[in-house]
């Protein structure tokens, strides 16, 4: 192998490496943004969850004063269903944050 060929191949290899470093950085930034969005969303979801839990806590007493108890019971059931969905989304977001923290540690 001639010197020129070796130098040329090394330049190509260095260019590939630099491209990979840029791709890795772009992916890291994307994961960081996803994690930050997940944290922000969890704050909002926690507030919403607290509001729903407060309504559900008051529901048994409130039910006593309602004329349309069946309709009220349906609403309470719907709130409970949404509460489960909120818990699932919070868990998903926590996993996104956890995965990013692992990525950050090995970087």
pLDDT in tens, 4-56: 899 999 999 999 999 999 999 999 999 999 999 999 999 999 999 999 999 99
Percent of the chain past pLDDT 70, that is, above it, reads 99
In a domain, 15, yes or no: no
In a domain, 8, yes or no: no
In a domain, 81, yes or no: yes
In a domain, 42, yes or no: yes
Give the model's confidence band at 97: pLDDT under 50 very low, under 70 low, under 90 confident, else very high: very high
Give the separation between CA 75 and CA 73, rounded to whole angstroms. 5
Checking if the pLDDT of 1 tops 80, the result is no
Please tell me the total count of domains within the chain.
1
In a domain, 93, yes or no: yes
In a domain, 20, yes or no: no
Checking if the pLDDT of 63 tops 90, the result is no
Burial 1-27 (b: 16+ CB within 10 A, else e): eeeeeeeeeeeeeeeeeeeeeeeeeee
In a domain, 77, yes or no: yes
In a domain, 14, yes or no: no
Q: What is the pLDDT of residue 67?
A: 86
Domain containing 41: what range? 31-106
- Rg of the chain over CA atoms, in angstroms? 26
């Amino acid at each position: 192998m001639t010197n020129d060929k070796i130098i040329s191949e090394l330049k190509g290899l260095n260019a590939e490496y630099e491209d990979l470093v840029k791709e890795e950085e772009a992916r890291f930034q994307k994961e960081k943004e996803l994690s930050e969005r997940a944290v922000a969303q969890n704050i909002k979801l926690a507030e919403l969850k607290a509001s729903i839990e407060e309504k559900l806590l008051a529901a048994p007493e409130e039910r006593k004063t309602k004329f349309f108890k069946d309709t009220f019971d349906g609403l309470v059931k719907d709130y409970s269903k949404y509460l489960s969905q909120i818990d699932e989304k919070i868990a998903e977001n926590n996993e996104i944050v956890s995965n990013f923290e692992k990525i950050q540690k090995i970087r």
